């Protein structure tokens, strides 16, 4: 096992449920900060998590945390998309504007790549650190008292000082936090996503320029936006589009997609958009993903402050925010830091401080997804002709030029003081 820098051992035992990006990042951060951590995942093995997936994005506020994990950002950079721009087009095909992200370099790295590939890099780092990751662990219930929290897993009980629910929008941890079972609602939108080899289109006269090196383009239209990119010098290619949808998501929210269904949504769009969809190889992964909406939670923590929700379990994001993954990383960073700063005798105060530090920022970040979707789907093209940059993604320093760990270290003492004095309120 490789040697990695760690803070002094705190004696705090943390149990994390869910080994997705939020959970595994929280486990790494807990290990960095000297906590004893066990990570439980219902999947049978890591291949079950990494074998599928498509594009995922980490903006500077999320990716900067990978720089603290030796070797991780370097490995990610080798497989990430190299573009520093986004080319935006009218849905009929006319080029409108190029948005450059080059000036954001001083804010930190941007990482866009295959979900499974980037996860594998983080997972390997966790393994190298010696993080205790247990596969095939099905958690059926959460519980807590004044001294500990725990879960029922595979018919047995496990306890810890803190339990972290990181298993997504259907986390069973939400029930103990809210006091009731809440069900996901349809957001009214869904996403088709596909990923395949660039070889499938490299000889297509209409599309071959898209895989001549890395590329990143978006087509904006009524109630639909279509994004396409290539990476690894055009060796891999992906497309994704968000559209209005009235599908029911009571039981499942992800289904195999069909090219013929996708083509109906882009009927009348630019020929290149239709050709991209039409050129999706048979057998390529194509997913119809229903976007789940959850009412903003009144709290991220349980009544006895021993259980915390992080990532999508606490705050699912729309893809147009480009912040879901980054905010989940921030969650784990802040929770681990709060536990470190509070110490073993003040675990419940640490959990409350985590919520206080994260709550407002997370909800402000969530709102950016709705704003971007509306800016694109309800675009006024007469106004855009006068000011093309009005359809650029909002890239704001308060969100992106942000170090969650540093912010926590700077704010913690005051937040803790307010909590002790009963002044801290969400």
Q: Domain for residue 88, yes or no?
A: no
Phi, then psi, of 200 in degrees rounded to 5: -65, -25
Rounded to whole angstroms, the Cα distance separating 293 from 310 reads 16
SS3 101: coil
Q: Domain for residue 274, yes or no?
A: yes
**Domain C-terminal end among 239, 270, 293:** 293
Burial 324-349 (b: 16+ CB within 10 A, else e): bbbbbbbbbbbbbbbbbbbeeebbbb
Domain co-membership, 267 together with 362: no
Domain co-membership, 258 together with 300: no
Domain co-membership, 113 together with 260: no
CATH of the domain at 204: 3.30.9.30
Rounded to whole angstroms, the Cα distance separating 88 from 110 reads 19
Task: List the structure tokens of 61.
Answer: 């506020």
Rounded to whole angstroms, the Cα distance separating 426 from 413 reads 17
Q: Domain for residue 60, yes or no?
A: yes
Rounded to whole angstroms, the Cα distance separating 215 from 112 reads 12
Q: Domain for residue 94, yes or no?
A: no
User: Residue 392 belongs to what domain range?
Assistant: 13-82+109-182+295-421
10: Cα within 13 Å, side-chain hemisphere: 28
Q: Count CB atoms within 10 A of the CB of residue 404.
A: 24
Q: Domain for residue 286, yes or no?
A: yes
What confidence score (pLDDT) does residue 250 get? 52
Count of structural domains within the chain: 2
CATH of the domain at 346: 3.50.50.60
Rounded to whole angstroms, the Cα distance separating 17 from 43 reads 11
Domain co-membership, 152 together with 35: yes
β-sheet bridge partners, residue 308: 164, 301
Instruction: Determine which helix (DSSP H) or strand (DSSP E) holds 216, and give its type and residue range.
Output: strand 215-221
Burial 81-115 (b: 16+ CB within 10 A, else e): bebeebbbbbbeeeebeebebeebeebbbbbbbbb
From residue 192, alpha-carbon distances to 11, 53, 244 in Å are 46, 12, 11
Residue by residue, DSSP assigns 281-325 as PTTSEEEEEEEEE-PPPS-SB-TTS-EEE-GGGT----GGGS-HH
Domain co-membership, 312 together with 281: no
What confidence score (pLDDT) does residue 54 get? 86
H helix count then E strand count, the chain: 13, 18
Domain co-membership, 375 together with 403: yes
Rg (alpha carbons) of the chain, rounded to whole number: 22
Give pLDDT tens digits along the chain (426 positions).
Answer: 566 777 889 999 999 999 999 999 999 999 999 999 999 999 999 998 888 778 999 999 999 999 999 999 999 999 999 999 999 999 999 999 999 999 999 999 999 999 999 999 999 999 999 999 999 999 999 999 989 999 999 999 999 999 999 998 889 999 999 888 887 777 788 899 999 999 999 999 999 999 999 999 999 999 999 999 999 999 999 999 999 886 655 544 678 899 999 999 999 999 999 999 999 999 999 999 888 767 778 999 999 999 999 999 999 888 888 999 999 999 999 999 999 999 999 999 999 999 999 999 999 998 888 889 889 999 999 999 999 999 999 999 999 999 999 999 999 999 999 999 876 545
Task: Find all residues with CB under 8 Å of 194, minimum gap 6, and list them.
Answer: 54, 238, 239, 240, 257, 280, 284, 285, 286, 287
- pTM for this model (two decimals): 0.95
Domain co-membership, 120 together with 239: no
**Domain C-terminal end among 246, 267, 293:** 293
Domain co-membership, 299 together with 405: yes
Task: List the structure tokens of 196.
Answer: 């395949």
Q: Domain for residue 89, yes or no?
A: no
- Give CA angle at 53 (51, 58), nearest 5°: 125
**Domain C-terminal end among 263, 293, 323:** 293
Task: List the structure tokens of 125.
Answer: 């780092």
Domain co-membership, 174 together with 218: no
Rounded to whole angstroms, the Cα distance separating 315 from 296 reads 7
């Amino acid at each position: 096992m490789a040697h990695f820098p760690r803070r002094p051992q705190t004696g705090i035992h943390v149990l994390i449920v869910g080994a997705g990006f939020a959970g595994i990042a929280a486990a790494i951060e807990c290990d960095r900060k000297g906590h004893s951590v066990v990570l439980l995942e219902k999947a049978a093995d890591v291949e079950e998590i990494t074998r599928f997936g498509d594009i995922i994005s980490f903006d500077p506020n999320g990716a900067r945390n990978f720089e603290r994990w030796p070797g991780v950002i370097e490995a990610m950079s080798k497989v990430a998309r190299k573009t520093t721009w986004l080319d935006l087009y009218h849905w009929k095909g006319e080029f409108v504007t190029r948005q450059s992200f080059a000036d954001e370099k001083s804010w930190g790295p941007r990482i866009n790549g295959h979900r499974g590939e980037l996860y594998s890099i983080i997972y390997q780092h966790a393994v190298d650190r010696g993080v205790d990751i247990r596969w095939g662990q099905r958690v059926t219930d959460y519980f807590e008292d004044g001294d500990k929290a725990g879960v029922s897993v595979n018919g047995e009980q496990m306890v810890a000082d803190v339990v972290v629910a990181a298993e997504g929008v259907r986390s069973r941890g939400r029930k103990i936090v809210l006091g009731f079972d809440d069900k996901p609602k349809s957001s009214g939108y869904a996403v088709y996503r596909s990923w395949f080899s660039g070889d499938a289109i490299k000889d297509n006269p209409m599309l071959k320029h898209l895989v001549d090196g890395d590329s990143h383009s978006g087509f904006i239209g009524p109630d639909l936006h279509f994004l396409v990119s290539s990476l690894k010098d055009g060796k891999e290619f992906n497309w994704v589009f968000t559209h209005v949808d009235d599908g029911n998501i009571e039981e499942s929210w992800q289904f195999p997609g069909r090219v013929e269904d996708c083509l109906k949504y882009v009927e009348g769009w630019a020929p290149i958009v239709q050709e991209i969809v039409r050129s999706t190889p048979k057998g390529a992964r194509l997913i119809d993903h229903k976007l789940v909406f959850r009412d903003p939670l009144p709290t991220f923590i349980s009544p006895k402050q021993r259980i915390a929700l992080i990532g999508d379990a606490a705050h699912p994001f729309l893809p147009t925010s480009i912040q879901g993954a980054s905010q989940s990383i921030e969650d784990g960073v802040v929770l681990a830091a709060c536990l470190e700063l509070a110490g073993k005798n003040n675990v419940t105060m640490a959990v409350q401080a985590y919520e206080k530090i994260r709550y407002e920022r997370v909800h402000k970040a969530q709102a950016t997804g709705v704003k971007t979707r509306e800016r694109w789907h309800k675009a006024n093209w007469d106004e855009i002709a006068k000011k093309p940059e009005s359809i650029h993604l909002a890239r704001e320093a308060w969100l992106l030029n942000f170090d969650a760990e540093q912010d926590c270290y700077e704010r913690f003492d005051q937040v803790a003081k307010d909590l002790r004095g009963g002044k801290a309120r969400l």
